[in-house]
C-alpha cells in the first residue's frame, strides 16, 4: 500500500476524492473555501507527475543514442561499439574535425584490420587506438587536441570496459 501512495497520479486521485467528499458532505459553498487547500495539496504531486513525464520522454528520446554520441568542438562524432568493446570512429567525422582528407586506402594498408566498413549506411571507420596512434604522428595543434580528446573520452572508457570484462585491475587516469 505504501508503494502505491508514492505515485503522483494516485496522490492526485486521493486528494480529488477527498475534495469531492468535502463538497458532498459540507455543500457546494464549502468547496470555494477549501479550494486553496486542495490546490496546495495537489501542487507537489502535479510537479512530480510532470517531472516523471519529462524524464520518461528524455529517456525515450536519448536512449537510442546513449553511448554513441560524442561531440568535439561542436562536431558530432558517431562512435560504434563492437562485441569486443572496441570503439570505431567514422573517418568522415574525423576528417571534419581535422579539416582535411585522410586517405582511407593508405590507412587500411598501414593499419590492417583496424580500418573497416561498418554502420548503416556503410562508411569507413577507424578503431580508437589506431586513430590515437595515427594522430600522434601529426604535428597539427588541432590533431593533438583531438588525440587527447579521443584518449580521454572514447578510448579510456572502452579500455576500462575491456579490462573489467577480462577480470583485470582497472587502471586509473
Concatenated DSSP letters for 24-68?
HHH-HHHHHHHHHHHHHHHHHHHHHHHHHHHHHHHHHHHGGGTTT
Query: Over the stretch 48-89, which tens digit does the pLDDT of each residue have?
Result: 999 999 988 888 887 665 655 677 787 777 877 778 878 888
54 plus 75 within the same structural domain: no
* Max CA separation in the chain (angstroms): 86
How far apart, in whole angstroms, are the C-alpha atoms of residue 133 and residue 152?
14
Is there a domain that residue 173 lies in? no
Domain with 44, as residue range(s), is 4-64
- Name the grid cell of 41: 495539496
98 plus 151 within the same structural domain: yes
158 plus 73 within the same structural domain: yes
Is there a domain that residue 103 lies in? yes
Is there a domain that residue 172 lies in? no
Which of 24, 49, 64 finishes a domain? 64
Give the pLDDT of residue 90: 84
86 plus 160 within the same structural domain: yes
13 plus 84 within the same structural domain: no
21 plus 83 within the same structural domain: no
> What rounded mean pLDDT belongs to the chain?
82
pTM over 0.75: no
Query: Over the stretch 86-102, which tens digit does the pLDDT of each residue have?
Result: 888 888 888 888 888 87
Give the pLDDT of residue 64: 65
The total number of structural domains that make up the chain:
2
Amino acid at each position: 500500500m505504501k508503494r502505491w501512495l508514492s505515485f503522483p497520479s494516485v496522490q492526485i486521485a486521493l486528494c480529488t476524492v477527498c475534495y469531492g467528499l468535502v463538497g458532498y458532505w459540507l455543500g457546494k459553498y464549502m468547496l470555494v473555501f477549501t479550494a486553496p487547500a486542495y490546490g496546495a495539496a495537489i501542487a507537489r504531486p502535479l510537479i512530480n507527475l510532470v517531472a516523471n513525464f519529462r524524464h520518461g520522454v528524455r529517456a525515450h528520446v536519448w536512449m537510442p543514442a546513449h553511448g554513441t554520441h560524442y561531440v568535439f568542438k561542436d562536431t558530432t562524432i558517431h562512435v560504434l561499439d563492437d562485441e569486443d568493446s572496441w570503439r570505431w570512429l567514422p573517418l568522415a567525422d574525423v576528417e571534419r574535425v581535422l579539416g582535411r582528407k585522410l586517405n582511407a586506402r593508405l590507412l587500411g594498408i598501414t593499419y590492417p584490420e583496424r580500418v573497416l566498413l561498418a554502420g548503416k549506411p556503410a562508411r569507413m571507420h577507424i578503431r580508437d587506438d589506431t586513430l590515437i596512434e595515427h594522430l600522434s604522428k601529426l604535428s597539427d595543434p588541432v590533431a593533438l587536441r583531438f588525440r587527447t580528446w579521443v584518449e580521454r573520452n572514447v578510448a579510456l572508457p572502452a579500455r576500462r570496459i575491456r579490462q573489467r570484462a577480462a577480470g583485470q585491475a582497472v587502471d586509473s587516469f
